[in-house]
Amino acid sequence: MKYFYWGFTDSGKGYTNRLAKVNGKVLANFFNYQIIKIYTTVNINEKDWFDFTQTKKIIHDNNGLKTVSRVENRIYKYYNYQTSPSTITKVGFFKVLRKKKWQKGVYKDAINITREQKLKYIDYDKYKNTTIYYNMAKDHVMDSDVNSVNVFRDMKYSFDELKSKINMYMDDVDLANSNLLHYFEPLKEILQNKNSVNIIPYKTNLLDSFISKLDGFYNFNLNIEFNQDLFEVYEKDKERIWKWLDYYLVQQNFLIDKFKTENIPYVYFNLDEDEYTDLFVGWDDLRSRDCTHRKYSWEKAEEDEKWKYNKVVDIAKEYMSVRNPKPLELR
């Protein structure tokens, strides 16, 4: 059985990633510039932590489809999700700033690689076994600032080749998620297979859903209101926020229409009420079903930030009163 988790932004993909790893399943994350396959062997399984060996294979387009891989031993400790960035608390922003500083070589353990060096090291035949090449395949960008240049091409340019190889790439995959819609055409025949389970997650607790999404207003959508401050936009033009939230409902409706048009079977999964073990047959569930909820960052908010959560709740409630949205199955 192959599971395809059609979650969009803030809809449980992180949870299913964890679920696959701790169950030793083969996971495939589909991103625009690469497909990352993760093989996990759980060596020790304790209540609060796991010792595992993990192999990551990165399929990318570098003058044709190429694959690089790395094996690492890790200890995974259960932790609650920390947002980055967050409308409600600056904790997440600090994480992003630290990451950017590391990428730019601010920290002493980082290295600065020139543009010329990066262009040199994308030679697959010469450098495919190096950490430099692997990291570029994983991150796919030349630089970390706003003027970044992609090292490798968007995978859409190699879809013809991908279609001919997709069965090989997907043969051992148990769970696929992330930006599956980007790969709809290469995946279509597999999605129609009777052994494929296409999962569309949704929430019945819409207030919780909208609060969580508004917490990610700053960076959830690269095309709409990206890098904008929620509270500033709210004071200027509320309709911009309503349209931003509408987008996530439209995404779900579009996906269902596409499945119906292409005769692709699907099942709904209620993130608030359904059991993961009923859907993922034979898998063990995680310790807590809300471990990837953004609320754990909100709990770390400083005293002078407490008002932000209440303000976000008020904005979410106002949106619901204006738009009167319905849970997915009732639309």
At 261, which helix (H) or strand (E)? helix 238-261
Please give the pLDDT value at position 203: 93
pLDDT(142) > 90:
no
Contact (Cβ atoms closer than 8 angstroms) between residue 302 and residue 89:
yes
| Cross-strand pairs, 75 | 51
Asked if the bond preceding 85 is cis, omega within 30° of 0, the reply is yes
Indicate the pLDDT class of residue 103, thresholds 50, 70 and 90. very low
Residue 299 near residue 91, CB atoms below 8 Å = no
Please tell me the predicted confidence (pLDDT) of residue 100: 44
Q: In 3D, which of 71, 67, 86, 75 has the Cα closest to residue 133?
A: 67
pLDDT at 57 over 50: yes
In this model, does residue 68 exceed pLDDT 90?
A: yes
| Alpha carbons 302 and 37: distance in angstroms, whole number | 38
Using CA atoms, how far residue 64 sits from 36, 61, 278, 283, 305, in Å, is 16, 5, 40, 36, 49
